[in-house]
Amino acid sequence: MELFGLIFTKLTVLMVLLLNFTYTTEAYDPLDPNGNITIKWDVMSWTPDGYVAVVTMFNFQQYRHIQAPGWTLGWVWAKKEVIWSMVGAQTTEQGDCSKYKSNVPHCCKKDPTVVDLLPGTPYNQQIANCCKGGVISSWAQDSSTAVSAFQISVGAAGTTNKTVRVPKNFTLKSPGPGYTCGPAKIVRPTKFVTTDKRRTTQAMMTWNVTCTYSQFLAQKAPTCCVSLSSFYNDTVVNCPTCACGCRNNINGTDGCIDENHPHLASVLSSTGKSSNTPLLRCTHHMCPVRIHWHVKLNYKEYWRVKVTVTNFNYRMNYTQWNMVAQHPNFDNLTQIFSFNYKSLTPYEGLMKFYNDLLSEAGPLGNVQSELLFRKDLSTFTFEKGWAFPRRIYFNGDNCVMPPPDSYPWLPNASSRTIISICFPVITIFASIMFLLANV
């Protein structure tokens, strides 16, 4: 029994270590290893009972943005601080401010939750980089709009660098889970250059918070998949079955609804569920988004690919969406049609539709583009699935790829493969027959 208990204990420790390793590696993105959202908290001035600070969020992720309904930022005060006022943002709840008789604070909660103000906010309630409904672009898409900021006046707090206590337990939602924020770290005060560039000022105090994203924490199932086809093979490789989970069709009340459902319009207009709750068209893969990569044409010095992005979610319009594809020929991309393109590395490209909108599932729920590549004769081939992408991301999420052995192969390569597979079987069969004949 003691030996069994020792073995069980060691196995348990090994399983815990393996699970911890799995969870931590999910947050690492090899295509964007340094991607994060950095929250910078600059104390700009002192007040009789606290300070005024500007809080700025920088999205340093190359291709993961925050779309509507936007970000939600939370923290826990270290002492008994209150928020007297805010500019460019607001808390979702005021909390219990009953002990204040005349001048009532904006928020008295120990753990406030802050959201961005909407576009169209009066100018006297705005500061720079605020009021975008919480939408933040990715750094590669547009670094000028990859920033969000608000001003906050804090009371019942310290009034010097030595008495101020930094908040703790920061949380960031976008709007759902996925981000994990580290502790606030006091850094060198931020310096600011005046508009005439003749004078530099600096914050009284600055601390930073770094938040990283994990697709595993954001959702249990993937959110996109990839299908493949080519001009040289009639086979269409669909997304893997149940790539994003298998769901039941319960007349559109949960999971998915058939596109030929007789009451589709009434189901979509129903107010029984939040518009943020996914309602997917029933498919074998059950993914909200599918990317189809079709090797279309072969020229003497070029080859052409058609990419189609299809939305299967009846309740989601993807705004400011982007797609990242990894392929060794992106260093020779010659032309791209109807998509904007930016190279991340010589082998990776970020693409987005020119109007930044992928409409909800339906007749308009897809966008298409064609890519023209120049051949590098030292590496170019249609054999063994070389023409297909190694990896595809949609809005920063890694899409499920078909298994490599299912890729469309050249007809002659396919026949060679069949022969190479059958040859050992035929050899074994012949050997058995020979042995039986000599028994």
Task: State the pLDDT at residue 271.
Answer: 43
pLDDT in tens, 22-31: 333 345 677 7
Task: State the pLDDT at residue 253.
Answer: 45
pLDDT in tens, 358-388: 776 666 678 888 999 999 888 888 888 889 9
Measured CA to CA, the distance from residue 392 to residue 371 in angstroms comes to: 15
Task: State the pLDDT at residue 409.
Answer: 85
Measured CA to CA, the distance from residue 205 to residue 239 in angstroms comes to: 52
Mean pLDDT per block of 10 residues along the chain (439 residues) reads 41 32 48 91 97 98 90 97 97 96 95 97 95 93 93 96 96 91 97 93 97 87 93 93 75 63 62 60 91 93 93 84 88 81 60 61 78 88 89 92 90 47 44 49
Measured CA to CA, the distance from residue 203 to residue 55 in angstroms comes to: 12
Task: State the pLDDT at residue 13.
Answer: 32
Beta strands, E only, 269-428: 280-281, 289-298, 302-311, 318-319, 323-326, 333-337, 339-345, 348-353, 357-358, 366-374, 391-394, 397-398
- Give burial (CB, 10 Å; 0-12/13-18/19+) of 422: exposed
Taking the C-alpha atoms of 323, 326, 329 and 330 in order, what is their torsion angle to the nearest 10 degrees? 40
pTM of the predicted model as reported, rounded to 2 decimal places: 0.79
Task: State the pLDDT at residue 201.
Answer: 95
Cβ count near 379 (within 10 Å): 10
Task: State the pLDDT at residue 176.
Answer: 83
Go through 245-255 and write b for each residue having 16 or more CB atoms within 10 A of its CB, e for each that does not. eebeeeebeeb
